[in-house]
Structure formats: C-alpha cells, structure tokens
Amino acid sequence: MFELPVSEIIMFAVVVVIYFAAAVAGVLQLLADGEKYRRFLLPLVSLAVVLEAVILVFRAVELKAVPLTGLFESMIVLTIVFGLVFLFLSIAIEQVWFGSVMVWVIFALILMAGIVARPASEPHKIAATPWAIAHGIAMILGGASITFATANAFVYLLGKHKLKQKKVMQVLGRVPNIEKLERMTVFGIRAGFVLITIGLISGVGLILLLGTDITAWLTDGKVTPIIAAWVLMGIMLIFNRQLLFKGSFRAYITIAVFILILFAVLGATILGTTQHNFAGY
C-alpha cells in the first residue's frame, strides 16, 4: 500500500477508515437497542464507493486506459460492485444481521486490496483486446456474485445455529428468513457459475491469442483453484436441481467455493505460484 502515490494512499486510507466505521456500526446495531446505528451504514458505504471510484479515475487518468487488469484495480472494482449490491439490497432487506455481515465482508475485501496494492503500471497491448476485457469483467462480477452467495450462506448457518439453540428472539426480525437466504445463496452461485464460465472461455481465447501452452495455463496456481471452484459450483447446481443437497451442506460448499476463489485472487499471487498476468505481451 505504501508504494502507492501519496494521493492514492490518502484516498485509500480514507476508504479503509470509512469501511471500518461501517463495520463498527454493523456490530453496534446487533446490540440491544442498537438498530439506531443502522442508519449510518448506507451513507458510509455510499461515500466509500464514491471514493473508490475516484481512485479508479486517478488510475485511468494516469494510464490513459481503463484500469481493469491489475489485481489492485480488480479488488477495488470488486468492492465497488459488492458495495452497490449491498446498497440496493438494503432497501429490500432491513434485517440487521444481513447488513452487518455484508459490511464486514466489504471491509475484509478492502483490507485484502491493501495487501496487493501496487502503483499503476503501463497497460499491455493484450489488455485492450475484447478477450481480456471480457475476461476481466466476467471474473470480477463472478467474484462479486460468489462473495454475495457466501455472505448469505454464512447468515443462513448463523440463523440455523441460533434456531437450534432455541434463541428465536435473536433471529426473529434480525435475520432474513431461511428460505430467502437459501434463494439468495443459490442465485449468487448461479450467477457466479455463469460469469466464471464466461471468464474461463474468454481466458481460453486469450491463451489461443497468445499462443501459450494450455497445459501450463491449466496448472497455473491461480487458474487451478478457479477451475476447481467452477466444478464445485456446477456439481452443486446439478444436485440442487435434483433436490439432493440440503441447505447447510449447500452453505458449506458455497463457503468452500469462496475460499478457492479467494486463494486464486490473493493467495496464489502473494505466494508467487502464478504466472497469470499480462507482462511481456
């Protein structure tokens, strides 16, 4: 993060502080008589999303191109998309546990973005091709869909746990009903599966365009967990259609998919087990 230009460091630090404040408000609203703090969530998240968009504008001006293919920029776009999802859904879903989990997920994502933050680098020619643009957009939106599904899966497991402990009052009116959480989880996985499929197809298009060995691409430290997550989502959707997966098991599979995607986005890059970039093209 400290490698960024001073203007971006200041802007990013402000975004982190705002999301932290939203996360704290999310915790406070869970306390007794704490629902009054809920009114702070929408303006805080809205302000953070706007400031993140400003960071991307700074990058676009500096690069004279759409800042999309860098990992830091991709993480910023991911948090913006997830923040917008939160803002739209908050209108329809007012339960405090849902809002709290959503803002904490966004806060975690922005901290991860800080880990991989790097100064803007010159875009490579391949990054401007339709294949690369489709690949970047599909993977970012797919990641946002899976993150959304995971947030719902977590709230679902939390609600089930509270109900098993007969703590009905901690669930009633504070957590969306179980059926709604199941529907939103499946919706997120379906959307994520379609988008990741588009991302993989466009990725193959890039491989053919570059003339890269497809075996090396398939065994890359970033691509392999994404393919594993895609397979898991496909299996879950098939078995879900046949009504063979129960809600709790589906929720655990969703979380496993999220962990695989998270490792692909951050883990492989930090550990240096991937060559998945546009350098040299």
Q: Can you tell me the distance from the alpha carbon of 262 to that of 112, in angstroms, rounded to the nearest whole number?
A: 10
Shared domain check, 276 and 146: yes
Q: Which of 225, 219, 204, 208 is nearest to 143 (CA)?
A: 225
State the pLDDT at residue 178: 76
Final residue in a domain of this structure, among 123, 156, 175: 123
For 7-27, write each residue's pLDDT tens digit. 888 889 999 999 999 999 888
Indicate whether 175 pLDDT > 80. no
Please, what sign has the CA dihedral across residues 141, 146, 150, 156? Answer: positive
Shared domain check, 1 and 96: yes
Q: 244 lies in which domain range?
A: 124-281
Q: Can you tell me the distance from the alpha carbon of 112 to that of 107, in angstroms, rounded to the nearest whole number?
A: 9
| pTM listed for this prediction | 0.72
Shared domain check, 137 and 253: yes
Mean pLDDT for all residues in the chain: 78
- Kindly state the average pLDDT of the residues 101-123: 80
Shared domain check, 18 and 63: yes
The answer to whether 159 and 171 are in contact (CB under 8 A) is yes
Shared domain check, 97 and 232: no
Q: Supply 266's token pair.
A: 């951050």
Final residue in a domain of this structure, among 123, 142, 169: 123
Q: Can you tell me the distance from the alpha carbon of 214 to that of 205, in angstroms, rounded to the nearest whole number?
A: 11
State the pLDDT at residue 176: 65
Shared domain check, 228 and 170: yes
Shared domain check, 62 and 26: yes
Shared domain check, 141 and 45: no
Final residue in a domain of this structure, among 123, 144, 163: 123
Residues found in the chain: 281
- Kindly state the average pLDDT of the residues 112-122: 76
Shared domain check, 219 and 113: no
pLDDT band at 281 (very low <50, low <70, confident <90, very high): very low
Shared domain check, 263 and 130: yes
State the pLDDT at residue 51: 92
Shared domain check, 160 and 111: no
State the pLDDT at residue 120: 65
Indicate whether 54 pLDDT > 70. yes
Shared domain check, 278 and 161: yes
Choose the weakest-confidence range: 29-43, 52-66, 234-248, 263-277: 263-277
State the pLDDT at residue 280: 42
Domain count, the chain: 2
By percentage, how much of the chain surpasses pLDDT 90? 17
Indicate whether 206 pLDDT > 90. no
